[in-house]
Structure 1
Amino acid sequence: MLPGGGRLVRGGRVVARVLLVWVLVVGALRLLDTWLTGFSMPQWWQPTVCALLFGVLSAVVWPLVLRVALPLAVFTLGIGSFVLLGAGVLAISFAVPGVAITDFGTAVVVAVAVAALGSVVSSVVGLDEDELFFRRAARRSRRGATVDGTMPPGVLLLQVDGLGIDTLRRAVRTGDMPAVARLLDDGSHRLAEWHTDWSSQTGASVCGILHGDNSDVIGFRWYEKDRDHVMACSSPEDAAEIERRHSDGRGLLAVDGATRASLFTGDAAHTSLTMSALPLISGAGRRRRGRDGVGAGYYAYFANPANALRTGVGALVDLGREVSAAVRQRRAGVRPRVSRGGFYPLARAGTTVIARDVVVSAITEDMLAGRAVVYADFMGYDEVGHHSGVERFDALAVLRGIDRQIGRLHRATQLAPRSYRIIALSDHGQTQGWAFADRFGESIEALVGRLCGEPQADPRRGSHSEASRPAEGWPVDAVLAEASSGGGPIARRLRARVERAGSTADRPRTPSGAPSEVARVAPGVVVVASGHLAMVSFTDHAGRVELETIEREYPELLPSLVDHPGIGFVLVRSAEFGPVVFGRDGLHRLATGVVIGEDPLAPYGPHAADLVRRVDAFPHCADVMINSRYDPARDEASPFEPHVGSHGGLGGGQSRGFLLYPVELTPPDEIVGAEALHRVLRGWLTRLGHAEPAGSGERAVPAAADS
């Protein structure tokens, strides 16, 4: 409860703001009467009455209308809200005698102008978002919604998607992240590094962080042979299935938690913009009790027309920045770069501005409600890093915007009715490089299809004709010539094994059976790319296909892959030696640790062997696992997707995430894998006094195994 004098001061500011806005809206309406030909208010008293009615419309009627018309606001990203508000202004003109608005467009212009004025006034009189947060918290306290002073401090887990620790450190040094720099400089927070799993992407990382288990999450997308289905973390149904397999009811957010703009719920009771929760709210009667739903964050934010205007303007500005940045890259001949047209500029504005603002608003609501743990994802930097580059100017501009939000939330923790601690982290980093298809003239899917004896149209590069190959990059013919001439020592050994095994003319071929929706790059061959990781599965064989079978049926595949200059190493299972990792100049038998020649995992760090060995044991591990080649000298690798900054495998900054935590918490030991990071966070929550979740402790088995 605030002291009585403080309440009077705050209440006086509220009254002053209302009066000031009213007076200025009256003046604005008079100016609009002069400037707009389709708007007329001939009597002196009409602007005063209309300003009053507009205030009632914005404060009382508008939130009620938006509850009914929420889909319009959601699917138009707030723009449709001004259409509805224009209708309200038109209704006011009918209600006040003598006021004339000739058309609907004029009504929308009046609505936008008045909403903009309210937003400007809030800034001028110092009533920014943090002040608004404080006043709302005070009102709730007076209504009796106080938080027990004996409760442990709440925790905000703020994920900056795709921000590696190396980029973070440079951004702190160069002044691109001043809010984080202040947390470090004033001694309130420490910075630590954590190493991702082999699959350095959001699906595996967030599943492990929130549930303490990310087994069998092989990539952001992967093929499951027993279901003939490509799992994709970006699919609501697949995300829900992944969470079903890994949730035991004891997730990190199971006790009074909330998740915002995440892939998974972490067993939180309150979710919005969360992928795995979308199927639960897609139909009547299927929504879980307590779930906020996809539109909850949008409603809370766009209920204020000024928010919609501010975010809409910010999104348009970001669109302009994207177009400008793309033009500058092309004119300067910057390499590597990728296409930045199509839907991407809109998607960028959606993540860098709209989703960011909605997420911050939802976090504020969670703090007002006194929720114990909130997990929120800021996605903008990762999205721009994919298309622009890891540390290029427009990616750093997005990072500065996220840093400002972290600073705002840190200030808000000092005003909330419950004490809060901020922990910032990333799910992975990014490694920059020239996209595989652009650099080598064909995608990994087309390469594997050709090596399996089935040249066909490349889904990314068009046909395999000479005319379709890019003018720049290493020609395919050079790669083929190198492979066919014998190549490196491992390729020669693999070819010798094939020759000793005999002819391949009578190799067995099992019919694929029923038609499948999963595209084959060759009969019975599926390839799935996930950043710097590619997975090859042979669908004519059940279970894991062993090295000896691959050599017999596709003799050119493995030798050509290990000799390819864009491929760092290949994992296969051998009937004789178990899991084996092949590189151009050596091999590593994971079961025994025997290395012949140069260790192909050496450039990928001291944890590479353990991380690869773990994936080899997954039920849905692909028959051939391919990691792109990492060049330590240039700190770059070529992703199998059309990205500049990318992740998903091993090599460089993509595997090094960051963890920013309060100094009162115990410094962690070396953190390797998202499951280990979950244990660290769980330990910190326990240290702060949070209750242990009371879930079942049992995880579901994959859907295919249920039958």
Structure 2
Amino acid sequence: MTGDGTGGRLLRGGRVVARVLLVWALVAGALVLLDDLLTGFRMAGWWQPPVFALLFGVLSAVVWPLVLRVALPVALFTLGVGSYLLLGAGVLAISLAVPGVEIANLRTGVVVAVGMALVGAVTSSVLALDEDELFFRRAGRRARARAEHDAEQPPGVIFLQVDGLGVDTVRRAVRDGDMPTFARWLAGGSHRLAEWHCDWSSQTGASVCGILHGNNEDILGFRWYEKDRDHVMACAHPGDAAEIERRHSDGRGLLAVNGASRGNLFTGDAEHVSLTMSAVPVVRGSRWRRSRDGLGAGYYAYFANPGNGVRTFVAALVDIVREVSASVRQWRADVRPRVARGGFYPFARAATNVVVRDIVISAIVEDMLAGRAVVYADLLGYDEVGHHSGIERFDALAVLRAMDQQFGRLQRAAQLAPRRYHVVALSDHGLTQGWAFADRFGEPIEHVVGRLCGGEPPPVRRSSRQAAEGWQVGAVLAEATDSAGPIARRLRARVEGSGGRPPVVEGTHGAVTRVAPGVVVVDSGHVSMVSFTEHEGRVELETIELEYPELLPSLVDHAGVGFLLVRSAEFGPVVLARDGLRRLATDVVIGEDPLTDYGPHAADLIRRTDSFAHCPDIVINSRLDPVTEEASAFEPHVGSHGGLGGPQSRGFLLYPAELPAPGQVVGAEALHRVLRGWLTHLGHPRPHAEPAPAQRVDSSA
């Protein structure tokens, strides 16, 4: 058996040598072709192309990684493009070392470098001699050298989050062949699929903070307004993300013990961090430290191979073409619902779906080969495409197929890591599809609220077709006002009985835009939040009725509004809808229960949100069609999330079968307890109760 193993290793080694020689020959041939095509590039003799190709190979394999350690910021801040300027300079240097080779200038050098790297990358991909094989082989030798020392370590865990992927879509993708790796794991019995129910705020900020830190209290949306500071918090803003983590971290996050955070909003108290929003502004004087893996974990491993930059650039161009093609196909077929997909979006999609994905996966591979205990990473591409295309349209499913391949890649890397690894796939929420509110009803929800509160919102820019439909929508809304439902009539009767009238409110000026004097509206997917800034603290239903008598009746009767939460001085938190109300303090229902279509956990989740310190004065949830499970998001999305109703509330959890079953999981904090329990089950130590350590920041977002 020993002889067979040695023979196998020799055979594999011989194949690698043969492939490298073939790549060398093809790159030399490319140089001959470039000599014919480029006016500023000349090689006089037959021997110069193979020598030049050999030296370029040495530059790429040996010298380039050393140069990149110093010049990494150039690659980091240009997403790899700047690295080819450096390679072009290297090609100029090689031309000086090989007699008879002439390169006119740096631009020609860059073209030659890109041409050789492109040929090498394409050939390596065709021959399966990709960056995985070479990188994994080098790292595997290091891993095997440490394997005996690390044999007593508990298995590591990779938590890979597919942003926005609901459990319903996972089931269909597995069934229809769009996620073959998932299908293979499930069919083979190595993994099991479970569902978890999101919080009312079914979006990445609340979910990831709850999952990583075990606490997501007072996170009301991806954006929300804090009246005491007159400030709109935004999870995607570095300063706000750092403040959110400061409020919720106790130093014992999911990643606190030898963990790594890659591509997330929050760190989970990890000491190895890259592409994580809350870590961007963490400049703590003497406590600032770089990670042992160096600046730009993921970036370095990825851009150390010049071919990766070319491969990513080509893949990004392909993704841009796919996006433009998909957009045109939707428009020509008049697919509905749909949103505008032009402008900068195709480039943003390619950056998210290709460039960042590849860098994050590269960083995870580094973490595995370094033997880190636990890694949590977020892949955002499906969520981005789902927002603009739809949750199960053909281009969204193509993104899932590409992501599924990354799970197979990580499984390969795990075989060479110094410790055993479990891969857990999960999502932070799902997506609910439907016409965007502004497209369906002719004006965004903030304009509706502003108009009802006496403001004069600016006109909505629409195409001629949308404008033609707008007047019909206005007629429908006018008819709805005249034929008000029972709850609207009840609200109007209360106002008329109390003699209430709209007051004259002077305008205020602050850091936040008002849709009407003293009125702020912030949207977060399927939730819209209204705050009255002229009043401190929570404004009660009775005061709203007195000052804005048409606001609540018109909102509950609006065809795009499912229900809204207000606080009553008499009854406490109340959920209002067109045909009924529910008093959450006593669960008394008058008329039809407004939460019937929003799941069995809706009342408890809304009750919890009502207790938050910064809960807005009115929280509006979009209306769900219980038959189609469609709803109109308050943001310009086809597939959206952030509220209750439909697939957005149903995340998935794909976990190794040897781990304990999670049971019923409601809310991100409960999911944190499940994941923490799995780590404990595997033998990972619990973090001590101490302040969070200064993160070793590997990169910026």
- 1:685 alignment partner AA: L
- CA shift, 1:504, in A, is 2.1
Across the aligned residues of Structure 1 and Structure 2, the Cα RMSD in angstroms comes to 2.4
**8 A Cα contact 1:429 1:647, kept in partner:** yes
| Aligned residue among 522, 544, 548 for 2:542 | 548
1:319 aligns with 2:313: no
Equivalent residue runs for 1:580-619 within 5 Å: 580-619=574-613
- 1:359 alignment partner AA: V
**8 A Cα contact 1:273 1:297, kept in partner:** no
Question: What's the TM-score once normalised by structure 2's chain length?
Answer: 0.94
Distance 1:511 1:121 in 2: 66
| Aligned residue among 474, 477, 480 for 1:477 | 474
- CA shift, 1:298, in A, is 2.0
**What residue in structure 1 maps to residue 445 of structure 2?**
444
**8 A Cα contact 2:222 2:524, kept in partner:** yes
1:633 aligns with 2:633: no
**What residue in structure 2 maps to residue 647 of structure 1?**
641
SS in 2 for 1:184: helix
- CA shift, 1:82, in A, is 1.9
**What residue in structure 2 maps to residue 497 of structure 1?**
494
**8 A Cα contact 2:369 2:416, kept in partner:** no
SS in 2 for 1:572: strand
Distance 1:293 1:456 in 2: 50
**8 A Cα contact 2:264 2:378, kept in partner:** yes
- CA shift, 1:500, in A, is 1.4
What is the number of equivalent residue pairs in this alignment?
A: 690
Distance 1:50 1:521 in 2: 66
**What residue in structure 1 maps to residue 559 of structure 2?**
565
Post-superposition CA distance 1:220-248 (Å, at most 9, x none): 00000011100001101111111111100
- 1:196 alignment partner AA: C
Moved more, 182-191 or 403-412: 403-412
Structure 2: runs of 5 or more not aligned: 694-701
SS in 1 for 2:64: helix
**8 A Cα contact 1:577 1:591, kept in partner:** yes
**What residue in structure 2 maps to residue 671 of structure 1?**
665
Change (3 A) 1:152 1:531: same
**What residue in structure 2 maps to residue 355 of structure 1?**
356
Change (3 A) 1:640 1:511: closer
- 1:498 alignment partner AA: V
Equivalent residue runs for 1:84-123 within 5 Å: 84-123=86-125
- 2:569 alignment partner AA: A
**What residue in structure 1 maps to residue 417 of structure 2?**
416
Change (3 A) 1:666 1:6: same
SS in 1 for 2:280: helix
**What residue in structure 2 maps to residue 224 of structure 1?**
226
Distance 1:380 1:293 in 2: 27
**8 A Cα contact 1:133 1:412, kept in partner:** no
Post-superposition CA distance 1:85-110 (Å, at most 9, x none): 12221222123222112343332221
Distance 2:52 2:207 in 1: 53
**8 A Cα contact 2:144 2:416, kept in partner:** no
- CA shift, 1:571, in A, is 0.3
- 1:212 alignment partner AA: G
Identity of aligned residues (%): 73
- 1:107 alignment partner AA: G
SS in 1 for 2:530: strand
**8 A Cα contact 1:273 1:293, kept in partner:** no
**8 A Cα contact 2:500 2:549, kept in partner:** no
Change (3 A) 1:13 1:347: same
Structure 1: runs of 5 or more not aligned: 700-707
**What residue in structure 1 maps to residue 162 of structure 2?**
160
Change (3 A) 1:379 1:292: farther
**8 A Cα contact 2:391 2:431, kept in partner:** yes
SS in 1 for 2:562: strand
Distance 1:197 1:110 in 2: 54
**8 A Cα contact 2:143 2:417, kept in partner:** no
**What residue in structure 1 maps to residue 697 of structure 2?**
none
Post-superposition CA distance 1:394-424 (Å, at most 9, x none): 1111111001111221232223221100110
1:425 aligns with 2:426: yes
Change (3 A) 1:39 1:671: same
**8 A Cα contact 1:269 1:291, kept in partner:** no
Distance 1:474 1:678 in 2: 48
- 1:100 alignment partner AA: E
**What residue in structure 2 maps to residue 58 of structure 1?**
60
**What residue in structure 2 maps to residue 371 of structure 1?**
372
Equivalent residue runs for 1:167-316 within 5 Å: 167-280=169-282, 287-290=288-291, 295-316=296-317
Change (3 A) 1:695 1:147: farther
Question: What's the TM-score once normalised by structure 1's chain length?
Answer: 0.93
- 1:436 alignment partner AA: F
Distance 1:22 1:332 in 2: 48
Distance 1:79 1:638 in 2: 40
**What residue in structure 2 maps to residue 30 of structure 1?**
32
SS in 2 for 1:213: coil
- 1:447 alignment partner AA: V
- CA shift, 1:454, in A, is 1.1
Distance 1:22 1:4 in 2: 27
SS in 2 for 1:268: coil
**What residue in structure 1 maps to residue 79 of structure 2?**
77
**8 A Cα contact 1:483 1:559, kept in partner:** no
**8 A Cα contact 1:221 1:230, kept in partner:** yes
**8 A Cα contact 2:147 2:418, kept in partner:** no
1:623 aligns with 2:617: yes
- CA shift, 1:314, in A, is 0.2
- 2:365 alignment partner AA: T
SS in 2 for 1:40: strand
**What residue in structure 1 maps to residue 699 of structure 2?**
none
**What residue in structure 2 maps to residue 704 of structure 1?**
none
- CA shift, 1:40, in A, is 1.2
Change (3 A) 1:129 1:54: closer
Post-superposition CA distance 1:424-444 (Å, at most 9, x none): 000000000000001001001
Distance 1:153 1:660 in 2: 17
- CA shift, 1:172, in A, is 0.7
**What residue in structure 1 maps to residue 347 of structure 2?**
346
- 1:651 alignment partner AA: G
**8 A Cα contact 1:153 1:688, kept in partner:** yes
**8 A Cα contact 1:442 1:476, kept in partner:** no
Distance 2:199 2:526 in 1: 13
Distance 1:66 1:236 in 2: 27
Post-superposition CA distance 1:445-475 (Å, at most 9, x none): 10000000112215xx249xx9896223673
- 1:531 alignment partner AA: G
Change (3 A) 1:462 1:473: closer
1:401 aligns with 2:368: no
- CA shift, 1:33, in A, is 2.4
Post-superposition CA distance 1:136-188 (Å, at most 9, x none): 23331466586510101111101010000001101111111111000000010
- 1:653 alignment partner AA: P
- CA shift, 1:302, in A, is 1.4
